[in-house]
Amino acid sequence: MFSELRKKWQSYVEEGVVLENIKTDILESWQRCEKLGVDYKSGKGTKVEDGVLEKSIYNKREMIRLTRPIMENVYEMVKSTSYSVVLTDEKGIIIDLIINSDIKDIHDTINFVKGSLWDEKSVGTNAIGTCLAADKPIQVLGPEHYCEYHHQWTCSAAPIHNSKGEVIGCFDISGRAKDVQTHTYGIAVSSANCIEKQLMIAESYHLMDTTFDAILDGIMVVDSSLNIMRINNKIKDLFHMEEEDIFSIDIGKIFKGIDIQKNILENKNKMSFSDYTISIGAKKIECSLNISPITVGNEVTGAVMLMKEAKQVRKEVMRLAGFNANYTFDSIVTTDVRMNELISTAKKISKTNCSVLIEGESGTGKELYAQSIHNESNRSSGPFIAINCSAIPKELFESELFGYESGSFTGAVKGGRPGKFELANGGTIFLDEIGEVPLEVQPKLLRVLDNNKIVRIGGSFERDLDVRVISATNRNLIDEVSKGSFRQDLYFRLNVINLKIPPLRQRKDDIIELARYFLKGLNEENDGIYKKFSPYFEEMLMKHQWSGNVRELKNVVQRAYYMSDKVLISSVTFPKSTEASNDFKEHEKAATTYNLKDIEKESILKALSANKGNIIMAANDLNISRATIYRKIKMYSIDMNNSYKYEAVSK
C-alpha cells in the first residue's frame, strides 16, 4: 500500500503527473502546497516565538482545560499502538500534546513538539494543516504527506468549532506509518465532536454564571441536606465574608425560626419574609428573604434562597411611596438679604453630619430647607424620611420611630417592621413638629441620637444606624424646656446648628416675588391661559400681614387665580382667621424708644385686642405657649376686662 502511494507522490512532485486514485483531499492539498512553494524534501516543524505560544495558550485556556481529560482517555486507548495525542489552535500551533515514549525520537526528528507550527505552508500536507485548511476531518498515510520527512508518519485529525461554527482548533492522533490503524480516524472525529459539546456546555455554564452573578439579589442554593452548593457574588457582599467561609456555614443555625427541613424540603412550601435578620455569630444581616424548593420530578433535591439587602428594599419602597426630597436651595424664591444669608449658612452645614434644628412659624418652608440640606449633602443618594410628630398617636410613637419585632405586642405584623429611623439609614430623617414628641419617648430618642444604635420594641439586639437628624418646630422649645414638657438635654442634642426662618411679614420684598412665582406656575399648568396681577391686587398683598406665611400666600394666589374670570386678577380674599390678627403684628416696627418690657406688654395688649380678649388666639398669634401668656398677663398686671379696648384707646 505505501509503495503504491509513494509512486503517486513521486510522480506528482518530480514530474507533475497526477496518477489515478489519489484521494481528492490529498491531491487538493498537494496543489496548495505547490502554489505555496513548499519544499517537498523538507518539512520540519518551525517553533513560534515564546510570546506567540503564550498568547495562544492563554486565549485557548478553556479549550485546553476541557480537552485535556479527553486527550488522556484517548491516549490510554491508543498508547499500545505507539500513537501520540495532539491539540492545536486554529493556526496549527501545537498548544498541548501527550507524547508516546516509543515515538519520541520521531517527534524530535521532525520537531513535532509544543510550540511548533504545523500548517500546510510550513510543513506541507499533514493531518493538522490539511484538516484546518479544508475545515474537515482527514487521515494522512505515509507518502500522502507532501514533505518526504513525514512519510514515516501517519495521522488523523478533525477540526474543533465554537458555537458560531468557527474553527478554533484541531484534535490530532499521530504515530508511525507502519502502525497505522483505521480506527484512529473515527476516534479523532468523535473526540473533536465531544470537545465541541463540552465547549457548548461550558459556554452555557458561563452564561448562567454571568446571569447568576449579574442578579442584584443574593442567591444561595442548598441541597436536601442543607449543604450550600452554590452562591453568587452578591452573597459575598451581603455577608461580608469570603467564599470558603460561606460554604462552611451551618444553614440550620443562621435561619432561626424557620424550619426549612419541614416547610420547604418536606412540605414543598415557599416562604417569604419582607424583613428578616440572619444571624452569623455576632453578625446581623438584615434582608428580605424568599425560599423555594427545587423539585425534580416529584422529589425535592434542595432549595433556592433569594436575599435582598434591607436598605436596598427600603430604598425602593421609599421611592415608590414618595418618600424623597424634591426640593433644593434653588427652589427657595427670595430677594431678602437675611434669607440669602440663611441659605448660605444652610449650604455650609449641609456637608456636615451634625443635627439641625429649624425654627419658624407655620408655612415658612421648614421642610423645604430640610429637603434642600439633604440634597446638598453627601447623603443625597440615600433616603429622606419626613415625619410629622404631631400626627402620630401617643401610643404608637415608639413603634413608629423605632420599629418592632414579630409578636412584640397585640396587632404586631408577623415578621416585625422597621421604624422610620431604620428606613432612613444612610440618609436623613426629618422630625417636623419635634415639640410634640411625648415626654416619655424623649429619653429613648435621645439615646438613639447619642449612640447611633436602635433596638426595636421586643428586640434583643442593637442595630447600627447612620442617620442625619433634622428637626423643626414652630414652638418656642426653650419655653417648653422651662415648663418641663421638653427635655433640656434632647433640646441641646437637636440644636447643634440652628436655623431661624423669618416670617413673610418681616421680608416684604419677597411677597410679590413669591406671588408672581406661584402665578407663573399656575399659568404653566393651565395651557393657553396667561393671567396677571393688577396693581391693586399686588397692593393688597403687600398690606396683608400673612400670619400663615408662604403657605397662606400660595393659597390666596391660587384662590384668586381660579376665581378670576378675567385675565387681570384684581379681586383678593384673605382667610377670616388671619384678618383679625393683622394689626397686632405691627409691634415689630415699634419705636426704639420703648424698652423691651414696654414692647412686650404692648404686643400682648395688641394681640388681645385683635382677638377680642381671647387669650389662646392671642398666644397663637404671638407664637408663645398658653402658660407663657398667662404668666406675662400676670407680670404686667393686664386687666382682661379692658384689654380688648386697647386699640381704640391708642388711636
Query: What CATH number is associated with residue 234?
Result: 3.30.450.20
Higher pLDDT, 258 or 607: 258
627 and 517 together in one domain:
no
Q: Are 37 and 72 in contact (CB under 8 A)?
A: no
Q: Which among 185-199, 249-263, 315-329, 608-622 has the top mean pLDDT? A: 185-199
40 and 60 together in one domain:
yes
Place of cell 393688597: 540
Q: What is the pLDDT of residue 593?
A: 37
Nearest Cα to Cα of residue 26 among 118, 133, 102, 98: 133
234 and 114 together in one domain:
no
* Last residue within a domain, chosen from 525, 548, 579: 579
463 and 403 together in one domain:
yes
Read off the C-alpha cell for 96. 498541548
Q: Are 220 and 119 in contact (CB under 8 A)?
A: no
- What is the number of other CB atoms lying within 10 angstroms of the CB of residue 135? 11
431 and 575 together in one domain:
no
Query: What is the rounded CA–CA span in Å between residue 261 and residue 476?
Result: 59
- Phi/psi for 93 (5° steps) reads -80, 130
Domain count, the chain: 5
Overall average pLDDT of the 561-569 stretch: 88
* Last residue within a domain, chosen from 167, 182, 207: 207
Residue 183: band (very low, low, confident or very high) from pLDDT cuts 50, 70, 90:
confident
Report how far apart, in Å, the C-alpha atoms of 297 and of each of 263, 266, 294, 300, 301 are: 18, 14, 10, 8, 10
Cα-trace Rg, the chain = 43
* Last residue within a domain, chosen from 286, 315, 344: 315
Overall average pLDDT of the 362-379 stretch: 94
CATH number at residue 562: 1.10.8.60
Q: Are 251 and 222 in contact (CB under 8 A)?
A: yes
Query: What is the rounded CA–CA span in Å between residue 360 and residue 475?
Result: 8
Q: What is the pLDDT of residue 635?
A: 82
26 and 58 together in one domain:
yes
Instruction: Kindly tell me if the per-residue pLDDT of 594 is higher than 60.
Output: no
pLDDT above 70 coverage of the chain, percent: 91
Contacts of 392 (CB under 8 A, 6+ apart): 400
- Phi/psi for 99 (5° steps) reads -90, 130
Q: Are 95 and 64 in contact (CB under 8 A)?
A: yes
Query: What is the rounded CA–CA span in Å between residue 477 and residue 493?
Result: 13
265 and 361 together in one domain:
no
How far is it between the farthest Cα atoms of the chain?
A: 142
Residue 29: band (very low, low, confident or very high) from pLDDT cuts 50, 70, 90:
very high
273 and 404 together in one domain:
no
Secondary-structure percent of the chain, ordered helix, strand, coil, rounded to 5? 50, 20, 30
Q: Which domain holds residue 531?
A: 504-579
List residues bridging with 94 in a β-sheet: 88
20 and 166 together in one domain:
yes
List residues bridging with 278 in a β-sheet: 285
Q: How far is CA 354 from the centre of its chain?
A: 26
Overall average pLDDT of the 493-522 stretch: 93
DSSP state of 226: -
Q: Regarding beta strands 167-176 and 83-89, do their DSSP bridges make them parallel or antiparallel, or are they unpaired?
A: antiparallel
Q: Are 99 and 116 in contact (CB under 8 A)?
A: no
248 and 158 together in one domain:
no
Report field, pTM of the whole predicted structure over 0.85: no
286 and 338 together in one domain:
no
Per-residue H/E/C for 555-572? HHHHHHHHHCCCCEECCC
Instruction: Kindly tell me if the per-residue pLDDT of 10 is higher than 60.
Output: yes
Report how far apart, in Å, the C-alpha atoms of 159 and of each of 97, 130, 134, 138, 218 are: 16, 10, 9, 9, 41
Q: Are 358 and 470 in contact (CB under 8 A)?
A: yes
Overall average pLDDT of the 189-205 stretch: 92
Instruction: Kindly tell me if the per-residue pLDDT of 649 is higher than 50.
Output: no
Contacts of 413 (CB under 8 A, 6+ apart): 406
Q: What is the pLDDT of residue 651?
A: 35
Residue 98: band (very low, low, confident or very high) from pLDDT cuts 50, 70, 90:
very high
List residues bridging with 403 in a β-sheet: 418
Query: What is the rounded CA–CA span in Å between residue 278 and residue 283?
Result: 8
Helical spans, DSSP H, in 170-219: 183-214
Instruction: Kindly tell me if the per-residue pLDDT of 201 is higher than 60.
Output: yes
Q: What is the pLDDT of residue 513?
A: 94
